[in-house]
């Protein structure tokens, strides 16, 4: 099990996620060293050192837990991002997808569930559009899961694109 | 005022660590040594900070005379004696007068005497409000770092904004906005006997968000207090845990991570208690939680633990609550739940979130035997989905079976340390088939196996009884610190699990005219896990203590016992519910009655635990032991015990114990407190 989370997270943070998101972060100007966007700040920092939040998650994951200790300290500024609320929303959706990939896959196949509803909410799919969103994920289950196997970020992207083709759902991208 | 120029740009070093449920939470890896980061991180930051002189040093505001006025005003109003001030600083009265704070981080106090002097701390706090110097672990101006103190004092003393300009606390405001709080829910993750650190459950708070639904509550943040334990703590771990060798911190992980940890990985039921607090009270709680982010406490596993530290937050939210006063030596998470639930009108509603293994159990129970077997076949070989028996089922039934098979496979994957790719492949195949059945899965309501913790008996137990032993009669008095044995009333406790800690029984024998300590239990733990076609956990037991034997002509001899065993259990539903168990055991005894003063050997036990009615439970067991080491001997033991529950906290027991030449019957009334 831990192996699996580990692999998932590797996929997210290293193989696909990190370089891509570091670029995103730079593009969005997340260079803030002050308070307000700590999680993003630590996660996107492009240092090869292991003090990145993403790597910390990996380390604690391999060691029998999935919760990074320091990342959620109250004043360590895990939450909120003063530079760009949009960036933060996107990040929350990606983090959620990568940490709940198994629950999400299962619920997509089942056509509903709290993880899928939460994912939809993070993506900005309104509550009345969610049943539609759920049956869409069930219908295209295989393609989303295949995307997710490569990287949860890719899955979120695929979900966003698919949701966008189900008007009038809103997506993070259009928020 | 003491200068506070030591701005640490790096969080304090945190070693790699291990997770320890109630005691401990996962920690992050050790930050790199300062020297290695100075050049890259700290220097640019320092340069940046240098542009903002307020952040790097103390700049006194104008009008210092106002500080003196406020201090005088606070002194004459005796604010330092008020309950809220004591709650904010976690002061507790000391045995011989005075106060001391349970807070252990010096950075939490603004006066060097703050830990023991509420008045000095209040005065230093007021003075510090006039400075924008960064203080506390979070390195913010005092008004922001200690925002609960600031807001309370501002209200009490009606600060003049012109003479004491308010700081803007952007970090706090953003934090609060991100929490988007609506209400507070107390979460109880039930006991997990197979991990000693989780044996008593765990509690934390969830900050429910505005606009949150039942479906999206996993997105809410939680407030979790946990100790940070280095990965290499090793054998020192229990000792440090007991004596405050670890540091505890408040943290705010999202609820979905906690659900994953407890429900999916550890298979623990979760209970959610939505609490009634006003909007202002919720904000007060969060303000205080923010302050607590500035500091650590020494973590004491028994008392100042995860559950205890949450009580401070609740008390400050509503000072009419008195919670921390109720705990002296230890704080058992379920006790804190009982205490809060006992406050009239406090709990708005209770929600149950079953562990995955319990979902699987209940889903299986709901099926006729042939479908149960079919689901099991599909889980072990998905090609069974092409069987005629499966094709005959309705779409809804097929969906249900596939969901069950997937739940089961995920249970297996999440509870094994090994990577099991074949399980993953099977699960994917099943889910792909499930996605082709274009219907949503309806909610499946799961009835809990163990009822809510607040319906359970209290933690400690005292009993009074009398009986016969061989040719004598006796009266008996017994006290047990905690927690639950197999015959205690089951509501609220994990079924088939026993944890007895620190129990003493004293007797007076009438004919022998002898008073003696009959029995001492340091720890007596039994975990029975009924095995079925799906679940195969072993059962186990451990016992460390002392009892009284009749042996080699010694009528009443003290006998030290150390023993343990491993075995299996089966469950049946003939009457109501019966659990059969068998153990292979080893045991060592130490007593003056033995030749060589000891004996050691092994044996076995088989027995039965049965619910006869809601209130009446019976247990019977027989054991045989052979001791080839020390005093060569053997031992035949019988035990028959029964319990009738009189009320939530009162029960009646009748127990018969036999060992070789020793017969003992005791009838007792037991009260929980």
CA proximity to B273, closest of B357, B145, B184, B211: B184
Q: Do both B474 and B426 map to the same domain?
A: no
- Check which CATH number belongs to the domain holding B467 and give it: 2.40.160.40
Q: Is the peptide bond before B656 cis (omega within 30 degrees of 0)?
A: no
**Residues of A (32-61) whose Cβ lies below 8 Å from B:** 33-36, 47, 49-51, 53, 55-56, 59-60
Domain count, chain B: 4
What is the rounded distance in angstroms from the CA atom of residue B559 to the CA atom of residue B543?
Answer: 13
In a domain, B15, yes or no: no
pTM of model > 0.90? no
Q: Do both B143 and B215 map to the same domain?
A: no
CB contact under 8 A, A110 and B26: no
The token duo for B127 is 């003075």
Q: What is the pLDDT of residue B461?
A: 96
CB distance B603 to B585 below 8 Å: yes
Chain B touched by A105 (CB under 8 Å): yes
How are beta strands B221-228 and B24-25 bridged, if at all? Answer: parallel
ipTM score above 0.90: no
Query: How would residue B195 be classed by pLDDT, with cut points 50, 70 and 90?
Result: low
> For B381-505, where are the alpha helices, taking DSSP H only?
388-391, 395-415, 421-436
The per-residue pLDDT of chain B, averaged, comes to 86
In a domain, B343, yes or no: yes
Mean pLDDT along residues B484-506? 93
Neighbours of B556 (CB within 10 A): 18
**Residues of A (82-101) whose Cβ lies below 8 Å from B:** 82, 96, 99-100
Cβ within 8 Å of residue B96, ≥6 positions away = none
Q: CA angle, A14 as apex, A9 and A19 as ends, to 5°?
A: 135
Query: How would residue B404 be classed by pLDDT, with cut points 50, 70 and 90?
Result: very high
Q: What is the pLDDT of residue B78?
A: 96
CA of B145 vs chain A CAs: smallest distance (Å): 9
Q: Position of tokens 């004598």?
A: B472
In a domain, B358, yes or no: no
Q: Do both B414 and B477 map to the same domain?
A: no
In a domain, B118, yes or no: yes
Name the residue facing A70 among B14, B138, B224 (closest C-beta).
B14
Q: What is the pLDDT of residue B303?
A: 74
Q: Do both B255 and B194 map to the same domain?
A: yes
Over 50: is that where the pLDDT of B143 sits? yes
Q: Do both B143 and B89 map to the same domain?
A: yes
Chain A touched by B403 (CB under 8 Å): yes
Q: Do both B426 and B482 map to the same domain?
A: no
More confident: B145 or B43: B145
Domain termination site, one of B133, B166, B199: B166
The residue ranges of chain A whose pLDDT is under 70 are 1-88, 166-175
Q: Do both B393 and B461 map to the same domain?
A: no
Q: Do both B155 and B181 map to the same domain?
A: no
Q: CA angle, B225 as apex, B224 and B226 as ends, to 5°?
A: 115
Q: DSSP character for B443?
A: P
More confident: B58 or B272: B272
In a domain, B45, yes or no: no
CB contact under 8 A, B170 and A82: yes
Over 60: is that where the pLDDT of B339 sits? yes
Q: What is the pLDDT of residue A74?
A: 57
Q: Do both B227 and B140 map to the same domain?
A: no
* B218-270: pLDDT as tens digits: 999 998 887 776 666 566 666 777 777 777 778 888 899 889 888 888 888 99
Q: Do both B374 and B344 map to the same domain?
A: no
Q: What is the pLDDT of residue A86?
A: 56
CA proximity to A36, closest of B288, B253, B169: B169
Q: What is the pLDDT of residue B194?
A: 66
Q: Which range is most confident: B34-43, B288-297, B633-642?
A: B633-642
Low-confidence winner among B52-66, B79-93, B248-262, B557-571 (lowest mean pLDDT): B52-66
Q: What is the pLDDT of residue B197?
A: 59
Domain termination site, one of B297, B325, B353: B353
Q: Do both B413 and B507 map to the same domain?
A: no
Q: What is the pLDDT of residue A72?
A: 55
CB distance B356 to B264 below 8 Å: yes
Chain A touched by B425 (CB under 8 Å): no
CB contact under 8 A, A118 and B27: no
In a domain, B9, yes or no: no
Query: How would residue B48 be classed by pLDDT, with cut points 50, 70 and 90?
Result: very low
CB contact under 8 A, B28 and A50: no
Q: Do both B554 and B662 map to the same domain?
A: yes
What residues of B are in contact with residue A59 (Cβ under 8 Å)?
16, 28-29
Name the residue facing A51 among B32, B410, B414 (closest C-beta).
B32
Low-confidence winner among A45-54, B199-208, B304-313 (lowest mean pLDDT): A45-54
Domain that holds residue B72: 58-166
Q: What is the pLDDT of residue A150?
A: 83
* B608-623: pLDDT as tens digits: 999 999 999 999 999 9
Q: What is the pLDDT of residue A36?
A: 26
In a domain, B26, yes or no: no
Name the residue facing A102 among B48, B399, B410 (closest C-beta).
B410
């Amino acid at each position: 099990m831990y192996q699996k989370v580990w692999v998932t997270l590797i996929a997210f943070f290293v193989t696909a996620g990190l370089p891509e998101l570091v670029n995103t972060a730079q593009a969005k100007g997340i260079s803030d060293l002050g308070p307000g966007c700590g999680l993003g700040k630590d996660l996107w920092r492009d240092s090869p050192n292991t003090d990145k939040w993403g790597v910390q998650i990996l380390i604690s994951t391999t060691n029998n837990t999935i919760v990074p200790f320091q990342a959620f300290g109250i004043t360590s500024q895990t939450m909120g991002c003063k530079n760009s609320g949009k960036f933060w929303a996107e990040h929350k959706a990606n983090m959620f997808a990568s940490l709940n990939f198994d629950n999400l896959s299962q619920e997509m196949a089942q056509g509903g569930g709290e993880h899928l509803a939460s994912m939809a909410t993070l993506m900005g799919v309104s509550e009345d559009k969610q049943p539609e969103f759920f049956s869409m994920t069930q219908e295209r289950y295989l393609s989303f899961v295949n995307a997710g196997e490569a990287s949860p970020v890719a899955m979120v992207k695929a979900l966003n694109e698919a949701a966008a083709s189900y008007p009038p759902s809103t997506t993070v991208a259009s928020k | 005022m003491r200068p506070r120029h030591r701005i640490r740009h790096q969080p304090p070093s945190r070693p790699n660590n291990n997770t320890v449920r109630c005691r401990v939470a996962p920690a992050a890896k050790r930050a790199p040594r300062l020297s290695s980061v100075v050049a890259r991180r700290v220097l640019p930051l320092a340069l940046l900070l240098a542009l903002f002189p307020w952040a790097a040093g103390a700049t006194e505001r104008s009008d210092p005379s106002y500080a003196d006025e406020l201090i005088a005003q606070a002194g004459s109003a005796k604010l330092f004696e008020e309950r809220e001030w004591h709650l904010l600083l976690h002061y507790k009265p000391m045995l011989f007068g005075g106060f001391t704070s349970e807070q252990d981080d010096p950075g939490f106090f603004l006066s060097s005497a703050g830990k023991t002097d509420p008045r000095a701390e209040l005065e230093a706090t007021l003075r510090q409000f006039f400075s924008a110097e960064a203080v506390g672990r979070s390195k913010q101006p005092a008004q922001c770092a200690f925002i609960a103190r600031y807001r309370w004092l501002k209200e009490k003393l009606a600060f003049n904004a012109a003479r004491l300009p308010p700081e803007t606390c952007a970090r706090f405001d953003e934090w609060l906005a991100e929490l988007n709080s609506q209400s507070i829910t107390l979460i109880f993750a039930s006991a997990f006997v197979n991990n000693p650190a989780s044996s008593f459950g765990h509690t934390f708070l969830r900050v429910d968000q505005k606009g949150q639904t039942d479906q999206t509550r996993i997105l809410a943040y939680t407030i979790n207090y946990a100790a940070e334990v280095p990965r290499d703590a090793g054998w020192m771990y229990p000792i440090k845990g007991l004596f405050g060798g670890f540091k505890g911190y408040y943290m705010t992980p999202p609820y979905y991570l906690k659900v994953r940890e407890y429900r999916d990985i550890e298979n623990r039921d979760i209970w959610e208690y939505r609490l009634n607090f006003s909007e202002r009270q919720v904000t007060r709680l969060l303000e205080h939680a923010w302050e607590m982010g500035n500091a650590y406490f020494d973590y004491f596993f028994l008392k100042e633990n995860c559950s205890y530290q949450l009580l401070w937050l609740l008390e400050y939210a509503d000072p009419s609550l008195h919670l921390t006063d109720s705990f002296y030596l230890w704080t058992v998470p379920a006790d804190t739940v009982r205490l809060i639930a006992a406050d009239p009108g406090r709990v708005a509603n209770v929600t149950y979130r079953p562990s995955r293994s319990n979902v699987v159990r209940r889903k299986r129970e709901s099926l006729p035997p042939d479908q149960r077997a079919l689901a099991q076949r599909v889980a072990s070989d998905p090609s069974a989905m092409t069987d005629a028996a499966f094709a005959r089922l309705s779409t809804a039934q097929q969906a249900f079976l596939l969901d069950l098979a997937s739940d089961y496979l995920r249970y297996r994957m999440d509870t094994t340390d090994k990577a099991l790719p074949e399980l993953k492949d099977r699960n994917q195949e099943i889910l792909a088939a499930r996605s082709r059945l274009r219907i949503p899965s309806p909610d499946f309501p799961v009835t809990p196996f163990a009822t809510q913790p607040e319906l359970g008996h209290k933690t400690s137990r005292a009993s009074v009884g009398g009986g016969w032993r061989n040719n004598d009669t006796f009266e008996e008095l017994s006290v047990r610190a905690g927690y639950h044995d197999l015959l205690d009333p089951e509501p609220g406790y994990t079924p088939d699990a026993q944890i007895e800690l620190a129990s003493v029984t004293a007797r007076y024998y009438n004919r022998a005219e002898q008073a003696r300590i009959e029995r001492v239990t340091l720890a007596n733990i039994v975990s029975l896990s009924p095995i079925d076609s799906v679940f195969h956990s072993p059962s186990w037991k451990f016992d460390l203590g002392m009892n009284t034997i009749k042996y080699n002509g010694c009528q009443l001899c003290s006998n030290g016992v150390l023993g343990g065993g491993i075995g299996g259990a089966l469950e049946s539903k003939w009457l109501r519910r019966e659990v059969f168990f068998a153990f292979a055991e080893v045991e060592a005894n130490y007593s003056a009655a033995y030749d060589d003063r000891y004996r050691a050997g092994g044996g076995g036990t088989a027995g039965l635990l049965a619910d006869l009615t809601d209130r009446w439970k019976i247990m019977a067991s027989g054991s045989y032991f052979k001791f080839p080491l020390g005093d060569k001997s053997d031992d035949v033991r019988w035990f028959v015990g029964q319990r009738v529950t009189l009320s939530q906290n009162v029960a009646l027991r009748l127990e018969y114990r036999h060992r070789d030449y020793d017969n003992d019957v005791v009838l007792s009334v037991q009260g929980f407190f």
